Amino acid sequence: MAERRVVVVGGGVIGVCCAYFLAKEGADVILVERDEIGCGASFGNAGTIAAGHPPLNKPGRIRRSILDLLNPKSPLYIPLRWDPGLIRWLWTFRSFCTEQHLKASMGALAPLGHASLELFDSLVESEGLDCNYERAGYYEICRTDKGLAEAVHDAAMMRPHGFHPRKMRFDELREVEPAILDGVVGGVYFPEAATCDPHRFVLELADRSVRLGAQIETGRGVSEILSSGRSIQGVRFEDGEVIEADAVVLATGSYSSVLTKKFGLHLPVRAGKGYHRDLEVAEGGETLLSVACVLAETSVFCTPMRGFTRLAGTLEFSGVNHQMRPGRLKQLTAAAEVYLDGVREAVIRSEWCGLRPCTPDGIPYVGPVPGQSGLFVATGHAMLGLTLGPVTGKLIEEHVLRGGTSLPSEALEIQRGG
Ligand X SMILES: Cc1cc2nc3c(=O)[nH]c(=O)nc-3n(C[C@H](O)[C@H](O)[C@H](O)COP(=O)(O)OP(=O)(O)OC[C@H]3O[C@@H](n4cnc5c(N)ncnc54)[C@H](O)[C@@H]3O)c2cc1C
Residues lying near ligand X in the complex (CB under 6 A) are found at: 9-15, 32-35, 39-42, 45-48, 50, 221-222, 251-255, 274-276, 301, 312-313, 354, 356-357, 379, 381-387
What end-to-end distance do the CA atoms of the chain give, in Å?
36
Closest CB to ligand X among residues 174, 227: 227
**Rounded Cα–Cα distance for residues 191 and 164 (Å):** 7
Nearer to ligand X, 184 or 216 (CB): 216
Residues 13, 39: Cα–Cα separation, whole Å? 10
H helix runs in 61-216, sequence order: 66-69, 84-95, 99-127, 145-158, 170-176, 198-211
State the chain's maximal CA–CA distance in angstroms: 65
How far is the CA of 260 from the CAs of 256, 281, 386, in angstroms?
7, 46, 23
Tell me whether residue 3 or residue 241 sits nearer to ligand X (CB atom). Answer: 241
By C-beta, is 26 or 319 nearer to ligand X? 319
Q: What is the signed CA dihedral for 343, 344, 350, 352, rounded to 10 degrees?
A: 80
Least distance (Å) between residue 145 CB and ligand X: 26
Q: What is the nearest approach in angstroms of ligand X to the Cβ of residue 272?
A: 7
Smallest gap from Cβ 75 to ligand X, in A, equals 11
Of residues 341, 330, 335, the one with CA closest to residue 286: 341
Q: List all residues 6 or more positions away from 4 whose beta carbon is below 8 Å from its beta carbon.
A: 27, 28, 246, 247, 400, 401
Residue length of the chain: 418
Least spacing, CB of residue 122 vs ligand X, in Å = 18
CB closer to ligand X, 42 vs 405: 42
Q: How many CB atoms lie within 10 A of CB 92?
A: 14
The least distance separating ligand X from the CB of residue 328, rounded to whole angstroms, comes to 10
User: Residues 6 or more apart from 140 whose CB is under 8 A from it?
Assistant: 151, 154, 187, 188, 189, 190, 293, 294, 296
Which of residues 243 and 386 has its CB atom nearest to ligand X in the complex? 386
Judged by beta carbon, residue 86 or residue 185, the one nearer ligand X is 86
Smallest distance from ligand X to CB 313, Å: 6
Spatial separation of the C-alpha atoms in residues 189 and 186, rounded to whole Å: 10
By beta-carbon proximity to ligand X, the closer residue of 73 and 174 is: 73
Q: Which is nearer to ligand X, 172 or 351 (CB)?
A: 351
Output the smallest distance, CB 203 to ligand X, in A. 12
Q: Kindly state the smallest distance separating residue 217's Cβ from ligand X, in Å.
A: 9
**Residue among 372 and 392 whose Cβ is closer to ligand X:** 392
Bridge partners (DSSP) listed for residue 188: 140, 167
Contact yes or no for 400/232 (Cβ under 8 A): no
At its nearest, how many Å lie between ligand X and the CB of residue 362?
A: 12
Per residue in 369-398, is it b (16+ CB within 10 Å) or e — as a string? Answer: beebebbbbbbbbbbbbbbbbbbbbbbbbb
The three-class DSSP label of residue 395 is helix
b vs e for 150-188, b when ≥16 Cβ sit within 10 Å of the residue's Cβ? bbbebbebbeeeebebeebebeebbeebebbbeebbbbb
Within 10 A of 107 (CB to CB), how many other CB atoms are there? 14
DSSP conformational letter for 43: T
Tell me the closest approach of the beta carbon of residue 3 to ligand X, in angstroms: 23
Instruction: Report in angstroms how near the CB of residue 132 gets to ligand X at its nearest.
Output: 13
Nearer to ligand X, 39 or 69 (CB): 39
